Amino acid sequence: MSTLGKYQRSVSIIGVGCTPFMYTVDKEETNGLTEGELFGYAALKAMEDAGVNPKDVDFYFHGCASPLNGSNYLTPNVQIANWFGMKGKGSIHHSEACCTGYLAIEQAVNAIASGKYDCVLTGAVEFGDSTPSPADNVETPKHPYKRDKMTMEKFLKTTSWLYDRTYTRSLMAGQELIYDDAAEWYVRTRGISPEDMNRTLNAMCVNNRRNASMNPLAIERTTYEQLAEQAGMTLEEYMNSPYNPKMGDFLRAGGLELKCDGAAAVIVCATEKIPEIAKNLKHKPVEVLGIGSAACEATTPHFEVRATEEACRQVYELTGLSGEDLDLFFANDFIITSHLVSAEIAGYLPYGEGWKYICDGRTAWDGDKPINSNGGRTSFGHAHAASGLADMYEACKQMWGECGERQVKKLPKTTMLRGYGGAQNVAAIIVRTMD
């Protein structure tokens, strides 16, 4: 267990950028896009949002969850700087699987809080749905821009890279065999029935899709109500039908990520330097109050639960806040049960009652306890490294009141993002709009 020290100076997010999450190879207008173009788009949008130019940015962080799988490069950060005007400036590449985008924020904040830099860019890019062509193995020379569809079979083979098998360490299987850990844990510890958990899992899918249906950047905007109508079924019939098959004891197909391609970036600045660096900033800075972190590799029982508990404990102890202070919550729910479990552990939803809030629709974008207002990993999409920064993009847009007809009911002042990924890294980030 760690005790966090306070930052040496205040650090704020002043600009955000995000591409649409998409299947690039499926459309003529996006087929052939490169990592540099996606990352560069998000980076330039973040700079534009902050009112800064590349010359104002001291350093950049580059995240990619699986560069040897989805990238053409061993050192991807070095290859892309020309796309956003930062050639020659220092940079670091990092990879923490699906938690990359959340820990991208921590690295940037630490760099500013230390006093080394005053303004940095942190971004991430992922081709989660395609791989450099030919896609047979990493050794074969690749086409400079042509990509092949990444099949689910190929993707699942790479999940074995998440687990240490040295000396026959435990958990000798891949991701698909641990889908139900959090669901089983919740049923057992909260005393609800399997039928209630099934309703809750389906409700999370429905709520995520409703949120995404309003979001122009989301990859899937057709609601489950519309899908049910097309199939000639009621919503309940559809969600429990072969259209949404079970993957195990609890989880259904609709509760799994939609892997896709995309990029996101944010500009992080020393709060005291904002008047000097971002003279034309049009919105309030979003201050990063603290970030709790934990990593429990897969031999730890209920590792997502344990790491989330520790990360939340750290950040609440540092900030003096609690779940009652949160107005908006994000969870990296590539296995959708994370949505429920992390919100309860964080105290955003009451212990043992969160499933009721979800089933009653209270966690949808227009409810009083919104979670994943962008649609989450099952509907907004999961461009693995970029997803955490896409959540921060959404958080800031909601906190600035810039989401139009899908703006949550109460303008959020304080938001938590619970990042998760990589068997498993966890981050608990609290941000607050400055007065």
**Domains of the chain with CATH codes:** 11-159+258-277 (3.40.47.10)
Is a pLDDT exceeding 70 seen at residue 177? no
Q: Could you tell me which of 89, 102, 85 has the C-alpha nearest to residue 44?
A: 85
pTM of the full structure: 0.95
Residue 173's pLDDT is: 45
Confidence of residue 165 (pLDDT cuts 50, 70, 90): low
Is a pLDDT exceeding 50 seen at residue 357? yes
Q: What is the dihedral of CA 78, 81, 87, 91, to 10 degrees?
A: -50
Residue 176's pLDDT is: 46
Residue where the block lists tokens 């074995």: 160
Return the percent helix, strand and coil in the chain, to nearest 5.
40, 20, 40
What is the Cα–Cα distance from 88 to 99, expressed in whole angstroms? 27
Residue 303's pLDDT is: 81
Residue 174's pLDDT is: 45
Name the most confidently modeled range: 105-119, 284-298, 419-433.
105-119
Residue 170's pLDDT is: 56
Which of 102-111, 180-189, 283-292, 358-367 comes out lowest in average pLDDT? 180-189
Give me the mean pLDDT over the 104-114 stretch: 98
Output the CA–CA distances (angstroms, integers) from residue 108 to 23, 48, 308, 364, 394, in the order listed. 29, 18, 21, 30, 18
Give me the mean pLDDT over the 352-358 stretch: 98
Give me the mean pLDDT over the 375-391 stretch: 98
Name the most confidently modeled range: 60-64, 131-135, 422-426.
60-64
Residue 57's pLDDT is: 99
Contacts of 379 (CB under 8 A, 6+ apart): 205, 208, 209, 211, 212, 213, 218, 219, 220, 221, 258
Give me the mean pLDDT over the 200-221 stretch: 98
Residue 131's pLDDT is: 85
Give me the mean pLDDT over the 107-136 stretch: 94
